[in-house]
Structure 1
Amino acid sequence: MSETFRIRLDKEHHVFAAAHFITFAGDICERLHGHNYRVAMELGGPLDENSYVVDFIAARDELRAITDQLDHRMILPDSHPLIRVVADAKEVTVTFTPDGRRWIFPLGDCVILPVSNTTAELLARWIGEQFLARLQQRLNWQPTFIEIAVDENHGQWGVWSR
Structure 2
Amino acid sequence: MGIMTNDNCPNSTTPATDIRLATIRIAKEYLKFSAAHFTVFSATDRERLHGHNFTVSAEITAQVDSNGMTTNYRLYKDALQHCCEALDEYVLLPGESPYLDITQDNDQYLARFNGRTLVFPMEDTLVLPIRNTTVEEFSYYILQQLLVGKALGDNVDLWALSVSVSSGPGQSGESTWQRQG
Q: TM-score, normalised by structure 1?
A: 0.89
Please tell me whether Structure 1 or Structure 2 has the larger radius of gyration of its CA atoms.
2
Structure 1 63/89 Cα, relative in aligned 2: closer, same or farther at 3 Å?
farther
- Would you say the 8 A contact 1:128–1:160 is kept in 2? yes
Does residue 66 of structure 1 match 2:83? yes
- Please tell me whether the aligned partners of residues 164 and 175 of structure 2 are also in contact (alpha carbons under 8 angstroms): yes
Q: State the AA in 2 paired with 1:74.
A: V
Q: CA deviation at 1:137?
A: 4.8
- 1:7-156 aligned within 5 A: 7-25=24-42, 27-96=44-113, 98=114, 100-134=115-149, 136-137=150-151, 139-140=153-154, 141=156, 143-156=158-171
- Structure 2 residue runs without a partner (length 5+): 1-10, 12-17
> Using the alignment, how far apart are the partners of 1:13 and 1:38 within structure 2?
8
Structure 1 CA distance, aligned partners of 2:67 and 2:93?
41
Counterparts of 1:30 and 1:87, CA distance in 2:
22
1:117 corresponds to which letter in structure 2?
Answer: N
* Contact residue 59 and residue 161 of structure 2 kept, 8 A: yes
CA shift in 2, pair 1:112/1:25, >3 Å: closer
Equivalent pair of 2:40/2:47 in contact (CA under 8 Å): yes
Unaligned runs of 5+ in 1: none
Aligned letter for 2:135? Answer: A
Distance 1:65 1:137, change over 3 A: closer
4+ residue runs over 4 A deviation: none
Alpha-carbon distance, 1:49 to partner: 4.2
Instruction: Give identity over the alignment, percent.
Output: 30
**Size of the alignment, in residue pairs?**
159
Q: Tell me, what secondary structure is at the counterpart of 2:164? A: strand
Higher helix share: 1
TM-score (norm 2): 0.81
Alpha-carbon distance in 1 for matches of 2:157, 2:172: 24
What letter corresponds to residue 83 of structure 2 in structure 1?
A: I
Structure 1 pair 40–138 and aligned structure 2 pair: CA distance change class (3 A): closer
1:72 partner amino acid? E
Aligned CA-pair RMSD:
1.9
